[in-house]
Amino acid sequence: MKVKTVFILILLATASLFAVDNILDSFNARSDGKNIIIDWRSTDESNIGRYELERTNSSNNFTYLAAQSPKGSYFTYKYVDEEAFMKDDNTGTQSKNIYSYRIKIVKKDNSVSYSNIITVTHNVSGIRRTWGMIKEMFR
């Protein structure tokens, strides 16, 4: 009888661990040739304070892009990264067309967890890249 009780307790503890870590139903990024579109879908948001989207393209140093307040469980969020082709997160010039994104999940008690990292290849025409760099000089 004790073995059965211990087994049930272990099973319940394992299930609760997976339930806590299973905050995102999906997390995707794609390039449309002009921008990178990032979207994610939540599951249970009852303990979520906010989401923070982060990006990197050359190292493991992620930089903050935007914050999003929770809208409700099973809501789909969307962010359009319009500046991915213009800047490298560390040097100020774009050197690669590969970007990685993650979501920093800040809970109501201020504890933090991170989503998996997704990577997207972004191919931008040379004309668009040059025009973007000219516009950036005048900002």
Side-chain half-sphere exposure of 15, counting CA atoms within 13 A: 6
- Is residue 75 in a domain? yes
pTM, whole model, 2 decimals?
0.69
C-alpha to C-alpha distance for 88 and 96, rounded to whole angstroms: 8
Here the CATH number for the domain that contains residue 73 is 2.60.40.10
C-alpha to C-alpha distance for 83 and 48, rounded to whole angstroms: 28
- Number of folded domains that form the chain: 1
Burial of 105 (0-12, 13-18, 19+ CB in 10 A): buried
Q: How confident is the model at residue 129 (pLDDT cuts 50, 70, 90)?
A: low
C-alpha to C-alpha distance for 94 and 74, rounded to whole angstroms: 35
* Residues 11-67 pLDDT 10s: 444 443 444 457 899 999 999 888 899 999 999 899 999 999 999 987 678 999 999
Residue ranges making up the domain that contains 47: 23-137
Q: Encoding tokens for residue 48?
A: 């979520």
